[in-house]
Structure 1
């Protein structure tokens, strides 16, 4: 009986681990698609990771970190819902497109927009 219970518990834990991994694992972003979306929707204000509206609120790594925007989740949230002068794109872009452009921004920040 103890062996069966132990096997059941292990199976439940394994199932939970797999399920949790599936939920928290983001879908693979398409960086090339993100670059195109950025060029169409974002580059007007954020050319080369800058910001023509609010000088200090750039997409550079240092600024993203300073403002707590240095994660895929944070960037996706602001692209989706907007904030202050930043427009919301939830009605213009799909969830997948938002993930793609967010991943592109993070990648470019890591490369210092070069």
Structure 2
């Protein structure tokens, strides 16, 4: 357990000192899922929103707020808005498209 804690601390230190973009050699949906789990799930677990409950990633909310298209989701992931952080400096254009596709696909499935 102590070794694991030391490894985590070293990894976080390296990550915050020398951030790198993850490279995924996998299909878009799987890549989008992994990107979502790493960058988004902390606030949007299962399509919810722990900061603002009504502004979740479920289809009715996405439609209500005009966020039910690739262009809209890509825009907010890229540039952020209000409490939503911008990811243009953390993710590539392709990664943003992958995670945007993943969000819309999961919303259509009801995040199951």
Using the size of structure 2 for normalisation, the TM-score is: 0.76
The SS at the match of 2:71 is: helix
Number of equivalences: 86
Pairwise CA distance, 1:58:
0.3
Pairwise CA distance, 1:66:
0.1
The SS at the match of 1:42 is: helix
1:99 matched to 2:97? The reply is yes
Aligned partner of 1:90 among 77, 81, 88: 88
Report what 1:54 is aligned to.
Answer: 52
Q: In 1, distance between residues paired with 2:29 and 2:82?
A: 26
Q: In 2, distance between residues paired with 1:52 and 1:89?
A: 19
Q: Which runs of 5+ in 2 are unaligned?
A: 1-26
- Structure of larger gyration radius: 1
Aligned partner of 1:69 among 48, 67, 70: 67
Using the size of structure 1 for normalisation, the TM-score is: 0.75
Q: Deviations over 1:3-28 (max 9, x none)?
A: xxxxxxxxxxxxxxxxxxxxxxxxxx
Over 2 Å off, 4+ runs: none
Aligned partner of 2:108 among 89, 110, 114: 110
Note the 1:29-44 alignment, pairs <5 A: 30-44=28-42
Q: In 2, distance between residues paired with 1:82 and 1:64?
A: 15
1:79 matched to 2:77? The reply is yes
